[in-house]
């Protein structure tokens, strides 16, 4: 087989066979297919796309490029959750303990934040001593005995994706649905869960800017999961404004703890309930959506989901005390309010822009090597549809010093669009693909 022939075939709109895709990925990982040819192939796929069979074959070829997690020795149903990434997305911190408290074992591998989006691992490091660098034995042990684990991705999990993503990142080939879907699902399948629930974000703060693209990605992800024999559900959700109120690592942990303590703040809890009900019904733990939602309400009301978070933090070496006293979380020395300059209603909040404000305060990474400040970020007081008066605070900035706080306050004001009329709110949950 010649890589050049495969590139030409795809460039001209042809369909790659299972054997060709397998050969190409093996060659790319062992170095016999060079980066320049793989880049050309990624661009050909970007323009020509792939059909469902090709996308599944690509996913499976990537999945088998490295080690996989085998959860068959762990008792019960094992589930995993993935979000395509947004701003203020602390869902895993709330949902994963809720699921574990309902008796579904949660085995999750998460990443660090980059650019305007945050990462679950960074957020969890707000608990002093917490570690996500687990051996495989500890990973299995914690899923079995704690009921949940959130770890960093092991070095040899889907090496084909690591290499291909790095190439896509510098060749303008990230936004391709078959490439995104195979990248996400190869990692999810390698992590070994029986049930996979995907939160596909759409809007300004996410990868998929339009609902149509988000739906197309959700369809593709679910088709791959089913093709690989897994129970897979995707929920399409709005990311036109940040999720919840807090953006920034320790600030988001605090909001998650508040949610697990029964504060039930709006969309964050709506999302956790929806994703949770999908997992509980797919796992066969609840017979209906209503029964699932009742279970979710119960584990928050009786404190068992919050206790699960504390147990999980302690099992991974962290100090669980902030779970019961969030004032113990890292706190920024400077906190200032951002006063509104105009009266009216919040018409839009640029989620990506708010993510960038948090990043510039030090809460996110400009490059993979950047150090982050867990204490800093933004807490929004006003969300889309809320009325505001001149001088009223729209948000609070948490900063390391006065100068960065003042700069962030100006940048945050620019993220808000104010209108005279109250806007119509689009539904937050835009659809469920099963
Ligand atoms: N997330 C991934 O894991 N891969 C992509 O290609 C895009 C988002």
Q: What is the pLDDT of residues 82-115, one digit of tens each?
A: 999 889 999 999 999 999 999 999 999 887 776 6
Whole-angstrom CA distances from 322 to 70, 148, 260, 316, 330 are 33, 19, 13, 15, 10
pLDDT for the residue 265: 67
Query: Which pLDDT score, from 0 to 100, does residue 417 have?
Result: 96
Query: Are 345 and 298 in a shared domain?
Result: no
Q: Ligand 1, from 58, 183, 214: best to mutate by most atoms within 8 Å of Cβ?
A: 183
Does residue 412 share a domain with residue 280? no
Residue 124 neighbours by CB distance under 10 Å? 23
Report yes or no on 60 lying in a domain: no
**How many CA atoms lie within 13 Å of 286's alpha carbon, on the beta-carbon side?**
19
CATH number of the domain where residue 303 is located: 3.40.1030.10
Choose which residue among 157, 165, 173, 178 to substitute to test ligand 1 binding: the one with the highest number of ligand atoms within 8 A of its C-beta. Answer: 165
Q: Is the CB of 356 under 6 A from ligand 1?
A: no
In order, the DSSP letters of 234-271 are: EEEEE-SS-SSSEESHHHHHHHHHHIIIII--HHHHHH
Say if residue 106 is in the same domain as residue 43: no
Same domain? For 42 and 177 the reply is no
Give the model's confidence band at 414: pLDDT under 50 very low, under 70 low, under 90 confident, else very high: very high
Residues spanned by the domain of 117: 78-324
* Domain end call among 273, 305, 324: 324
Domain termination residue (choose one: 324, 341, 365) = 324
CATH number of the domain at 41, please: 1.20.970.10
Q: Is 422 exposed, middle or buried (0-12, 13-18, 19+ CB in 10 A)?
A: middle
371 and 245 inside one domain: no
Partnered with residue 393 across adjacent β-strands are 339
| CATH assignment at residue 415 | 3.90.1170.30
Residue with CA nearest ligand 1 atom 6: 180
Ligand 1 midpoint to CA 404 (Å): 31
189 and 220 fall within a common domain: yes
188 an active-site residue?
no
311 is a catalytic site residue = no
182 inside domain: yes
Greater model confidence, 144 or 169: 144
pLDDT value for 368? 76
What are the Cα distances from residue 235, in Å, to 116, 260, 332, 343, 409?
Answer: 22, 21, 34, 35, 33
Give the Cα-Cα-Cα angle 364, 266, 107 (nearest 5 degrees). Answer: 60
Q: What's the pTM value of the predicted model, to 2 decimals?
A: 0.94
For ligand 1, mutation pick of 173, 180, 218 (most atoms within 8 Å of CB): 180
pLDDT score recorded for residue 112: 77
Q: What is the pLDDT of residue 270?
A: 95
Looking at 19-23, 130-134, 286-290, 381-385, which range is the least confident one? 130-134
Spell out the residues 6+ positions from residue 351 whose beta carbon is closer than 8 angstroms to its own: 86, 87, 88, 203, 204, 205, 206, 239, 240, 241, 242
Based on the fold, state whether residues 13 and 139 are members of the same structural domain: no
183 lines ligand 1 (CB under 6 A): yes
Check if 180 has its Cβ closer than 6 Å to any atom of ligand 1: yes
**pLDDT at residue number 371:** 87
Q: What is the pLDDT of residues 254-272, one digit of tens each?
A: 999 999 999 876 999 999 9
Q: Confirm whether 52 is a catalytic residue.
A: no
Q: Which residue is closest in CA terms to ligand 1's atom 2?
A: 184
Per-residue pLDDT reduced to its tens digit, 23-34: 999 999 999 999
280-313 per-position pLDDT tens digit: 999 999 999 999 999 999 999 999 999 999 999 9
Protein residue closest via CA to atom 7 of ligand 1? 180
* pLDDT of 205 over the 80 cut: no
The total number of structural domains in the chain stands at 3
**Is 199 known to be catalytic?**
no
> Which residues are 246's β-sheet partners?
379
pLDDT of residue 389: 97
Tell me which of 270, 300, 324 is where a domain ends: 324
Q: Mean pLDDT throughout 184-207?
A: 93
- Region 354-369 average pLDDT: 89
Q: For the CA atoms of 406, 408, 410, 412, what is the dihedral angle to 10 degrees?
A: -150
Residue 371: alpha-carbon gap to chain centroid? 20
Averaged pLDDT for residues 45-58: 98
Q: Give the Å distance between the CA of 187 and the centre of ligand 1.
A: 10
Q: Which residue has the tokens 């790319």?
A: 28
Find the catalytic residue in 183, 186, 358, 404: 183
Can you tell me which residue has the tokens 């669980």? 320
Strand 105-110 and strand 78-83: the pairing is parallel
Mean pLDDT score of the chain? 95
Cα 383 off chain centre by: 21
Residue 254 annotated in active site = no
- The rounded distance, in Å, linking the Cα atoms of 194 and 69 is 12
Torsion angles phi and psi, residue 286, rounded to 5: -125, 145
**Confidence at residue 194, expressed as pLDDT on a 0 to 100 scale:** 95
Residue 67 lies in a domain: no
CA dist., res. 369 & res. 121, Å (int): 15
């Amino acid at each position: 087989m010649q890589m050049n022939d495969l590139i030409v075939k795809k460039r001209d709109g042809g369909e790659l066979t299972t054997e060709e895709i397998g050969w190409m990925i093996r060659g790319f990982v062992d170095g016999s297919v060079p980066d320049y040819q793989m880049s050309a192939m990624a661009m050909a796929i970007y323009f020509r796309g792939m059909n469902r069979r090709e996308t599944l074959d690509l996913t499976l070829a990537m999945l088998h490029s490295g080690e996989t997690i085998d959860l068959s020795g762990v008792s019960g149903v094992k589930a995993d959750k993935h979000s395509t990434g947004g701003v203020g997305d602390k869902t895993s911190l709330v949902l994963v303990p809720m699921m574990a408290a309902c008796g579904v074992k949660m085995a999750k591998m998460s990443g660090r934040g980059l650019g305007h989006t945050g990462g679950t691992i960074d957020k969890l490091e707000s608990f002093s001593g917490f570690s996500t660098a687990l051996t495989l034995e500890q990973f299995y042990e914690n899923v079995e005995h704690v009921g949940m684990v959130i770890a960093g991705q092991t070095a040899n999990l889907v090496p084909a994706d690591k290499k291909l993503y790095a190439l896509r990142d510098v060749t303008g080939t990230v936004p391709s649905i078959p490439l995104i879907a195979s990248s996400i699902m190869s990692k999810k399948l390698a992590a070994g869960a029986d049930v996979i629930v995907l939160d596909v974000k759409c809007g300004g703060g996410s990868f998929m800017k339009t609902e149509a693209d988000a739906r197309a990605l959700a369809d593709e992800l679910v088709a791959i999961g089913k093709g690989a024999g897994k129970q897979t559900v995707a929920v399409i959700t709005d990311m036109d404004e940040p999720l919840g109120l807090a953006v920034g690592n320790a600030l988001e942990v605090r909001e998650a703890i508040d949610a697990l303590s029964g504060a039930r703040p709006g969309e964050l809890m709506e999302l956790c309930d929806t994703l949770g009900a999908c997992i509980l019904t797919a796992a066969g733990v609840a017979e209906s959506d209503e029964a699932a939602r009742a279970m979710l309400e119960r584990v928050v009301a009786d404190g068992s989901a919050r206790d699960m978070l504390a147990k999980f933090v302690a099992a991974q070496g962290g100090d669980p005390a902030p779970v019961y006293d969030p004032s113990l979380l890292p706190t920024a020395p400077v906190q200032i309010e951002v006063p509104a300059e105009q009266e009216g209603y919040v018409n839009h909040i640029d989620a990506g822009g708010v993510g960038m404000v948090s990043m510039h305060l030090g809460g996110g990474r400009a490059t993979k090597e950047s150090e982050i400040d867990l204490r800093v970020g933004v807490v929004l007081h006003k969300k889309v549809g809320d009325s505001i008066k001149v001088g009223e605070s729209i948000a609070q900035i948490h900063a390391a010093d006065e100068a960065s706080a003042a700069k962030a306050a100006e940048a945050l004001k620019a993220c808000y669009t104010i209108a005279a009329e109250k806007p119509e709110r689009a539904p937050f949950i835009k659809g469920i693909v099963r």
